[in-house]
Amino acid sequence: MTLRIVIDPEGADAPYEQLRTQVAERVREGELPVGYKLPTVRGLAADLGLAANTVAKAYRALETDGVIETRGRNGTFVAAAGDAAAREVAEAARAFALRARRLGLTPSEARDALDAALRAAYA
């Protein structure tokens, strides 16, 4: 998965705002899942032809909005929305989805397995 961002230097919005908006939209649409590791500030700046400060400003705004989180030297990641329980469930769902894919299940088969587990747990 790659981060597809297009910055229009002639656009009405500042480049940092274009970056912030596009990352937030991709997260909201599920294109960038919880736990996705974003490029480094310098790396993304080089890829987009922007100043590192511009990317850093967009990342700070996204972090303030709760869209991403920085984990020190480990990098910057798409954050789970909501409280700790929601984050834990999102990570469990992500792990389940990755495991189901590795096992060769189709999305429909994975959903069926999850639905059965939910019915059993909440019965």
State pLDDT tens for residues 24-63: 889 888 889 989 999 999 999 999 999 999 999 999 999 9
* Burial per residue of 70-90, b for 16 or more beta-carbon CB atoms within 10 angstroms, e otherwise: beeeeebbbbbeeeeeebeeb
State pLDDT tens for residues 65-112: 888 999 989 999 999 765 555 667 788 899 999 999 999 999 999 999
- Tell me the pLDDT of the chain averaged across its residues: 90
The model's pTM: 0.65
- With 0-12 / 13-18 / 19 or more C-beta atoms within 10 angstroms meaning exposed / middle / buried, residue 50 is buried
